[in-house]
């Protein structure tokens, strides 16, 4: 110090040095005295919003220290050891941070304002956290409370239209129905729950009441930290923790569901009249006399002239569903807990009441904070139990996983002339594939019990002696158990006179499976801000996971007595099976570094050195990376001094580039194991020699020498903005992706198979490209007590194979059939020119070589101009079956305690094709199922929806002219829905504001899939149908009442 002071003294004189020494000593003495006499206080107060409503769970901390507490249910707080000259920092998710100088005060009240754009909201990303203000990657956020109010049975059904970048496609309804979710047109995204990679099923079945935040990671800058499995984006969920004074909350949802569209079937009389009209068109005698028609009408001879309503007999109008949820939470910053229990009871519209599911969710989370050493300990345990059942018998053998295919197909296709019941009300044996027998409680069953347990322990240590340094260790263990019992037994059926018919032999199978997975993570992070200008955020860590599973199966057939126990069946019929223990392991080294200068310029890099045992030992490790830049223009002085600053409050440009990966999946979405090893298949019934059966081994596919992950490079440009004092906010992104490293077998492209087996897959020049944009925009404002929030989000993409790795050279050379360099088509087929209008039209135009082409048949285009219509004229047609755009439009209104939330959602064109089962033009009377099918071509109805109906060999062309794929049968399934509406009242906000014993009381009415506008409806389809053949549970509309009570 003396040397430093000497530098400021005048050469040759000690006076300046002595003077400086005295001044320095005086300053240090005053500082020491000030520190010695600085008092610590206990400060109390209350935190409220601008409406004087208490904010529960706000964090109150002494700035620059780990000393913190949380507000209770009344918004009150108390914090000890506060320096009298210190500063209190008030934070709460969704609100602007506030500070207050203590200045010796023992009581400080704070009013916090909601942050419309949420610039300082905490956003959970891959292995870390950030804020909207400091985000350089592309991330969308869905508010948890929006999902909670949606009347659905699992979270996948409640996300459509909620966020930009998210594309959701429904898949019918019923038990275990899950919507298909894509981020920017990719495959199933990665699921991360509380920082740990999880399964899609875990995501679907999580209790929505437990969700604290849900973020959509869309670009490589956000997902490169997940390496070889991050290519399709990620959904990151964080669950709730306890806060504030102990509170209990009970929520009950009472729901009724019904099909959004269930076309009524034609009755026997209507079908018979239509058949007579068809006969008349061909100049043939009527099939049914007037006397026979009268018998269909009056029901005088139900055995020979039945008129049975299968839908009415088998299906109810509504199906009941109930959800209950109980939560308890409380504590302070040093020790808090959260406990929840959820119950779902889901039924179906089957009158037999034999298909249902009960699900039980639970979660317990606890946080303990040791303030003296800065250590937070966070254990949690959660899980669910599912009990599911469905009927099972010989004509509907699908069980839980495929029951709807058989039963809905039979309800649809059974003629009303066939009886379901005999005169005594018993199930009639004279009708095969009788759906009343297939859903009866007196037949067989398939029961499944599934259990999932998941425990996690997280340690966060903020080292007190190194500001900004934090170490974190996480251990997660999950276990799955599933048991299935399938009793395949025929329902008792009776003939017309009431005599019991013989029963078929019964069979029984039982299976069980178990699996587990554990994940270990070790991370260190350093976050500091220097000189109020330099923000540094560095994270590095290691993650490893291991999974294992096995299954067992036993079955017996030929049961002669109806006892559903394995020992009751003949031992000679027993078969066994197993899935031997299979394991999978992954590991990765993760790094992230971010630097922000003066809240204006942001640079961030991420990497993951990833390893997986899916690949050969010499190719198991790969490096994935990303880099991103952001410029907050609104923080520039030139901008702040401009007139724009009064209008534009926040403006940020973003750009990112990165590389992620994808692994090869099977048809069920599971990683394919051992592709790099030689394999053999075992066949227990290979050969018969001297009357005996001998097993054999067969060679499997040749191993690939090049197997590795697919490589996806992603470029993203983004703009975030806030205008008009936060009332108008939004973001827009452009993205471009290129995927390489595809494997292909030369046998499928340009070579034969000289070894008698396909050549192994090798690294190809295949390249896939995808680009698009997404944006979100919202307006938030109030007029006194009236608040409103309106906005929309939109996502669009398109894609092509720049080089199709599996297309043959001959196909590539055909410009009309090749898939290379082509975007968004449905498939290949004929181009329809409409109907032939006359015999001359048939004779004078190119046509397919089939018998009996007549006016009213489909006229296909001769696209290659060779004078014939054949396979060479089947070119690319239609639009992709996956929508290229999704959008959502929302409106949220509030007045004092009343609220109204509306979400419209839709999708751009995607083509679905009318299945052969529902095409008019074939099979005559068997195709008269629904009323809209009567709109077929006749000389007097040439503008019909369907071609002529064929009848008798004289006028039949054996279906050959209507069965080929063509754009005539493609239906535009674009749609616009009132997806969700909720109307309710919050009694606590106004009427019960002063009732201290109650913390929450809300009542609401809601609907889901309320109405739909789509061309598909004209053809009897909901645009998100599970089956265009009608072989699936319909998409459902839900009406619900919700009551939430807290105290």
Confidence band (pLDDT; 50, 70, 90) for 94?
A: low
Domain covering 40-111 assigned CATH 3.40.50.620 in the classification: no
pLDDT of residue 35: 39
Q: Cα–Cα distance between 434 and 422 in angstroms, integer?
A: 12
What is the bridge-based pairing of β-strands 122-125 and 128-131? antiparallel
Q: Cα–Cα distance between 390 and 354 in angstroms, integer?
A: 6
Average pLDDT over residues 985-998: 86
pLDDT of residue 67: 87
Q: Is the pLDDT of residue 10 over 70?
A: no
Highest mean pLDDT among 100-114, 253-267, 733-747: 253-267
Q: Which of the pair, 808 or 925, is modelled with greater confidence?
A: 808
Q: Cα–Cα distance between 110 and 87 in angstroms, integer?
A: 13
Alpha carbons within 13 A on the beta-carbon side of 142: 29
For 391-448, the pLDDT digits (tens) are 999 899 989 999 999 999 999 999 999 999 999 999 999 999 999 999 999 999 999 9
Q: Cα–Cα distance between 210 and 767 in angstroms, integer?
A: 41
Q: What is the DSSP letter of 426?
A: P
Least Cα distance to 593 among 538, 635, 546 occurs for 538
For 715-760, the pLDDT digits (tens) are 999 999 999 888 999 999 999 999 998 888 776 555 555 666 777 7
pLDDT of residue 987: 92
pLDDT of residue 954: 62
Q: Is the pLDDT of residue 25 over 60?
A: no
Q: Is the pLDDT of residue 150 over 80?
A: yes
Query: Picking from 418-427, 666-675, 727-736, 871-880, which range would have the lowest pLDDT averaged per residue?
Result: 666-675
pLDDT of residue 36: 37
Q: What is the DSSP letter of 502?
A: P
Q: What is the DSSP letter of 202?
A: H
Average pLDDT over residues 74-101: 86
Confidence band (pLDDT; 50, 70, 90) for 1040?
A: very high
Least Cα distance to 593 among 640, 627, 639 occurs for 627
Average pLDDT over residues 22-47: 58
pTM for this model (two decimals): 0.87
10 Å Cβ neighbour count for 356? 18
For 827-868, the pLDDT digits (tens) are 999 999 999 999 999 999 998 888 788 899 999 999 999 999
For 535-550, the pLDDT digits (tens) are 999 999 999 999 999 9
Q: Is the pLDDT of residue 11 over 60?
A: no
pLDDT of residue 15: 38
pLDDT of residue 22: 40
Average pLDDT over residues 494-508: 93
Q: Is the pLDDT of residue 377 over 90?
A: yes
Confidence band (pLDDT; 50, 70, 90) for 26?
A: very low
pLDDT of residue 924: 45
Retrieve residue 955's tokens. Answer: 């006028």
Average pLDDT over residues 456-475: 93
Residue extents of the structural domains in the chain = 2-35, 40-111
pLDDT of residue 58: 85
pLDDT of residue 785: 86
Average pLDDT over residues 658-680: 78
DSSP-derived secondary structure for 219-272: SHHHHGGGGGG-TT-EEEEEE----SS-EEEEEEEEEEEEES--PPBP-HHHHH
pLDDT mean across residues, the chain = 88
pLDDT of residue 75: 84
Average pLDDT over residues 952-958: 62
Average pLDDT over residues 298-324: 95
Q: Cα–Cα distance between 967 and 830 in angstroms, integer?
A: 6
> What whole-number percentage of the chain has pLDDT above 70?
92
> What whole-number percentage of the chain has pLDDT above 90?
65
For 961-991, the pLDDT digits (tens) are 888 899 999 999 999 999 999 999 999 888 8
Q: Cα–Cα distance between 876 and 804 in angstroms, integer?
A: 15
Query: Under a CB-based contact definition with an 8 Å cutoff, are residues 974 and 883 in contact?
Result: yes
For 610-622, the pLDDT digits (tens) are 999 888 888 899 9
Average pLDDT over residues 785-810: 91
CA–centroid distance for 899 within its chain: 27
7, burial (CB in 10 Å: exposed 0-12, middle 13-18, buried 19+): exposed
Q: Cα–Cα distance between 691 and 858 in angstroms, integer?
A: 55
Q: Is the pLDDT of residue 50 over 80?
A: no
Q: Is the pLDDT of residue 23 over 50?
A: no
Q: Cα–Cα distance between 906 and 354 in angstroms, integer?
A: 34
Confidence band (pLDDT; 50, 70, 90) for 675?
A: confident
10 Å Cβ neighbour count for 317? 10
Angle at 963 between CA 962 and CA 964, to 5 degrees: 100
pLDDT of residue 111: 86
3-state secondary structure of 448: strand
For 550-594, the pLDDT digits (tens) are 999 999 999 988 999 999 999 999 999 888 777 889 999 999 999
For 323-365, the pLDDT digits (tens) are 999 999 998 878 899 999 999 999 999 999 999 999 999 999 9
Q: Is the pLDDT of residue 147 over 70?
A: yes
Alpha carbons within 13 A on the beta-carbon side of 1031: 15
pLDDT of residue 756: 65
């Amino acid at each position: 110090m003396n040397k430093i002071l000497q530098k400021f003294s005048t050469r040759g004189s000690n006076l300046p040095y002595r003077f400086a020494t005295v001044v320095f000593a005086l300053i240090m003495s005053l500082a020491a005295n000030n520190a010695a006499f600085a008092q610590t206080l206990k400060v109390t107060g209350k935190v409220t919003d601008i409406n004087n409503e208490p904010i529960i769970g706000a964090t109150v901390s002494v700035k620059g220290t780990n000393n913190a507490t949380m507000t209770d249910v009344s918004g009150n707080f108390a914090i000890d050891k506060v320096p009298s000259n210190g500063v209190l920092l008030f934070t709460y998710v969704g609100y602007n941070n506030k500070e207050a100088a203590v200045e010796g005060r023992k009581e400080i009240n704070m009013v916090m304002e909601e942050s419309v754009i949420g610039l300082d909201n905490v956003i959970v990303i891959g292995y870390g956290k950030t804020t909207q203000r400091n985000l350089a990657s592309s991330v969308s956020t869905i508010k948890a409370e929006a999902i909670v109010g949606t009347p659905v049975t699992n979270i996948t059904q409640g996300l459509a239209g909620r966020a930009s970048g998210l594309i959701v496609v429904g898949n019918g309804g019923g038990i275990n129905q899950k919507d298909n979710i894509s981020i920017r047109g990719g495959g199933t995204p990665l699921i991360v729950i509380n920082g740990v990679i999880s399964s899609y099923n875990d995501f679907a079945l999580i209790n929505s009441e437990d969700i604290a935040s849900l973020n959509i990671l869309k670009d490589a800058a956000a997902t490169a930290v997940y390496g070889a499995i991050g290519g399709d984006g990620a959904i990151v969920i964080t669950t709730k923790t306890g806060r504030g004074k102990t509170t209990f909350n009970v929520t009950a949802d009472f729901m009724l569901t019904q099909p959004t569209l269930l076309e009524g079937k034609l009755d026997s009389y209507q079908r018979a009249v239509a058949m007579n009209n068809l006969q008349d068109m061909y100049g043939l005698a009527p099939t049914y006399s007037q006397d026979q028609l009268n018998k269909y009408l009056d029901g005088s001879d139900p055995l020979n002239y039945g008129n049975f309503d299968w839908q009415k007999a088998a299906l109810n109008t509504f199906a009941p569903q109930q959800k209950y949820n109980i939560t308890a939470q409380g504590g302070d910053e040093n020790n808090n807990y959260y406990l929840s229990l959820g119950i779902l009871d889901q039924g179906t519209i089957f009158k037999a009441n034999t298909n249902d599911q009960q699900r039980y969710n639970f979660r317990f989370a606890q946080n303990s904070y040791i303030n003296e050493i800065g250590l937070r300990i966070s254990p949690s345990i959660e899980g669910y139990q599912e009990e599911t059942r469905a009927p099972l018998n010989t004509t509907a053998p699908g069980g839980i996983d495929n029951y709807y295919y058989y039963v809905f197909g039979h309800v649809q296709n059974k003629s009303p002339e066939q009886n379901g019941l005999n005169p005594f009300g018993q199930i009639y044996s004279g009708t095969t594939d009788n759906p009343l027998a297939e859903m009866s409680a007196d037949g067989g069953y398939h029961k499944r019990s599934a259990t999932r347990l998941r425990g996690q322990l997280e340690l966060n240590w903020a080292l007190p002696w190194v500001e900004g340094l934090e170490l974190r260790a996480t251990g997660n263990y999950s276990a799955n158990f599933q048991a299935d019992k399938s009793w395949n037994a025929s329902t008792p059926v009776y003939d017309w006179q009431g005599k019991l018919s013989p029963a078929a032999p019964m069979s029984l199978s039982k299976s069980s499976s178990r699996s587990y997975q554990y994940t270990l993570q070790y991370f260190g992070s350093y976050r500091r801000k220097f000189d109020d200008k330099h923000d540094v955020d560095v994270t590095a860590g290691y993650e490893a996971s291991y999974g294992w599973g096995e299954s067992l199966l036993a079955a017996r057939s030929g049961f002669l007595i109806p006892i559903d126990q394995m020992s009751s069946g003949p031992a000679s019929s027993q078969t066994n099976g197993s899935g031997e223990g299979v394991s999978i392991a992954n590991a990765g080294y993760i790094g992230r570094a971010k630097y922000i200068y003066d809240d204006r310029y942001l640079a961030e890099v991420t990497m993951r050195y990833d390893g997986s045992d899916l690949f050969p030992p010499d190719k198991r490790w790969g490096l994935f990376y990303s880099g991103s830049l952001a410029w907050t223009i609104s923080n520039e002085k030139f901008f702040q001094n401009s007139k724009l600053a009064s209008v534009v409050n926040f403006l940020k440009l973003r750009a990112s580039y990165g590389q992620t990966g994808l692994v090869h999946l099977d048809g069920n979405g599971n990683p394919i194991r051992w592709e790099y090893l030689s394999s053999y298949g075992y066949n227990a019934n290979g050969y018969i020699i001297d009357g005996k059966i001998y097993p054999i081994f067969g060679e499997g596919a040749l191993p690939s020498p090049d197997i590795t992950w697919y490589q996806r490079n992603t470029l993203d440009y983004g703009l975030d903005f806030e205008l008009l004092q936060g009332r108008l906010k939004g973001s827009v992104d452009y993205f471009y992706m290129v995927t390489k490293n595809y494997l292909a077998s030369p046998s499928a492209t340009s070579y034969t198979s000289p070894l008698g087996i396909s050549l192994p897959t090798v690294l190809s020049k295949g390249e896939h490209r995808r680009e698009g944009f997404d944006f979100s925009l919202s307006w938030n404002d109030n007029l006194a007590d009236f608040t409103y929030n309106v906005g929309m989000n939109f996502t669009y993409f398109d894609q092509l194979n720049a080089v199709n790795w599996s297309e043959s050279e001959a196909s590539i050379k055909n410009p009309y059939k090749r898939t290379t360099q082509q975007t968004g088509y449905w498939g290949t087929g004929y181009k329809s020119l409409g109907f032939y209008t006359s015999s001359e039209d048939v004779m004078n135009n190119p046509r397919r070589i089939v018998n009996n082409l007549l006016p009213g048949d489909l006229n296909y285009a001769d696209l290659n101009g060779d004078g014939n219509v054949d396979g060479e004229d089947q070119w690319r047609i239609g639009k992709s079956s996956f929508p290229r755009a999704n959008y959502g439009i929302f409106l949220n209104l509030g007045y004092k305690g009343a609220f109204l939330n509306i979400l419209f959602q839709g999708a751009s064109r995607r083509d679905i094709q009318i299945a052969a089962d529902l095409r008019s033009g074939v099979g005559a009377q068997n195709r008269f199922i629904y009323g809209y099918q009567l709109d077929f071509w006749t000389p007097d109805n040439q503008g019909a929806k369907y071609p002529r109906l064929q009848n008798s060999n004289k006028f039949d062309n054996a279906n050959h002219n209507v069965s080929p794929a063509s754009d005539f049968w493609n239906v535009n399934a674009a749609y616009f829905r009132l997806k969700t509406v909720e109307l309710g009242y919050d009694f606590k906000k106004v009427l019960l504001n002063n009732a201290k014993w109650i913390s929450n009381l809300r009542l609401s009415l809601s609907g889901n899939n309320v109405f739909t506008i789509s061309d598909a409806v004209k053809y009897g389809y909901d645009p998100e149908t599970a089956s265009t053949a009608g072989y699936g549970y319909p998409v459902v509309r839900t009406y619900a009442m919700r009551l939430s009570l807290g105290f």
